[in-house]
Amino acid sequence: MTQSDSDFEQLIERRGTDSVKWTLFDGDVLPMWVADMDFRAPRAVIKALQQRVEHGVFGYPHEPPRLRDVVVDWIARHYDWAVQPDTLVFLPNVAVGFNLAIQAVCKPGSGLLFQPPIYFPILDVPKHAGLEARPSELVRGEDGRYEIDFDDVERAASERCSAFILCNPHNPVGRVFCREELERLGETCLRQDLFICSDEIHADFVYDGQGHIPIASIDPEIAARTITLIAPNKSFNVAGIGCAIAVVTNPDLRRRLEEARRGIVPHVGIMSYVMTDAAYRHGEQWLSQLIVYLAKNRSFVEEFVRDRLPGVRMGPIEGTYLAWLDCHDLGLEESPHVFFLREARVGLNDGARFGPGGEGFMRLNFATPRLNLLDGLQRMRRALLSRGDNT
């Protein structure tokens, strides 16, 4: 085992720590659902938070003077995108960000384009903003890889749409969209006069030598109508001290986003500022080691599903730390989520929750020590074998 592996192999007891991941189900259930990693945050982040706590005074915060430069540097080095410090807007989390963005740019009654199956809070955005949902479902190929139906995107965009929510890397199907795909999506939005809100919270989780490409980095015209959302929350497992960053290069669009707060959406707190600064300033080596470990976990799940979970299929995962499992061939009379929760005592996300195209699927979080991962997969295997349908 390498030294970097040892940091992520540690089994940390999370029950009794007010973790939603570990308290949703009964105590004998192994939770592998919500996108919350079972790894301790980088030591530099923990140290920075401890030092701030030691100070003992937690008054109204002022944004750290160098924080914008730190974030801009991260964006330039990791996403090859040059932005200015004044383009950043700090928000409590990405879900707040995409709701706020859509309410800032859309007129009630217009349409909102998105690509299901998709991160389920996005499905609720039209209702919150008084919009009509305009889904354009991703198309799953024989190999399990999802593609964009650009003709269908054009159709949906033309139906009185005012905005498009992009999720890239895509949660839950694991696609990392390439430059050509992003260019075509951007061209459609320009042609149909759509604003873009791009949820790129998983931007730091890409594999196989790929690089994350922000859609706003493609073209200045696309950037002028795009609100890009990133965050340290997933990358450094600090969602409980959340902070998100909206990158908005268009000053007028940035003003509209700020005005949409309406005294309801607060600025982030002091611990969020401290965490964000420490994560982006000092967390790069930790994150690099984490990606190596997650890539091994991804391969482990792929091999186990292929060889030892008959009737379950897993498509290629290009980004995120979430496996998207196709359970249609199991022939279950109930959702696979219900079956594996009852028979295997494993808690997974029900694919139906992710909208059209999600029925019969489950989402599995593989960002956990490999012993946990093995335990969960073995439980699932035993549940399948106990049905008597497979040998």
Structural domain range at position 106: 46-282
Number of structural domains in the chain: 2
277 plus 178 within the same structural domain:
yes
Write down which residue in 241, 267, 282 finishes a domain.
282
Q: Given this model, what pLDDT does residue 5 score?
A: 59
State the CATH number of the domain containing residue 378: 3.90.1150.10
User: Does the pLDDT of residue 215 top 70, yes or no?
Assistant: yes
In whole angstroms, give the CA distance from residue 244 to residue 370. 29
State the CATH number of the domain containing residue 69: 3.40.640.10
368 plus 260 within the same structural domain:
no
pLDDT digits (tens, 9 = 90+) for 170-197: 999 999 999 999 999 999 999 999 999 9
Compute how many other C-beta atoms are within 10 angstroms of the C-beta atom of residue 266: 10
Any domain includes 353? yes
Write down which residue in 258, 282, 306 finishes a domain.
282
79 plus 155 within the same structural domain:
yes
pLDDT digits (tens, 9 = 90+) for 219-265: 999 999 999 999 999 999 999 998 999 999 999 999 999 999 999 99
Cβ(139)–Cβ(146) below 8 Å: yes
Any domain includes 156? yes
171 plus 297 within the same structural domain:
no
Q: Given this model, what pLDDT does residue 27 score?
A: 96
19 plus 67 within the same structural domain:
no
371 plus 296 within the same structural domain:
yes
Reference 200, options 324, 294, 103, 81; nearest CA is: 81
Please, which pLDDT band fits residue 7 given cuts at 50, 70 and 90?
confident
User: Does the pLDDT of residue 389 top 60, yes or no?
Assistant: no
Between the CA of residue 49 and those of 43, 241, 276, 278, 284, what are the distances in Å? Answer: 10, 10, 10, 9, 17
24 plus 60 within the same structural domain:
no
Q: What percent of the chain has pLDDT over 90?
A: 96
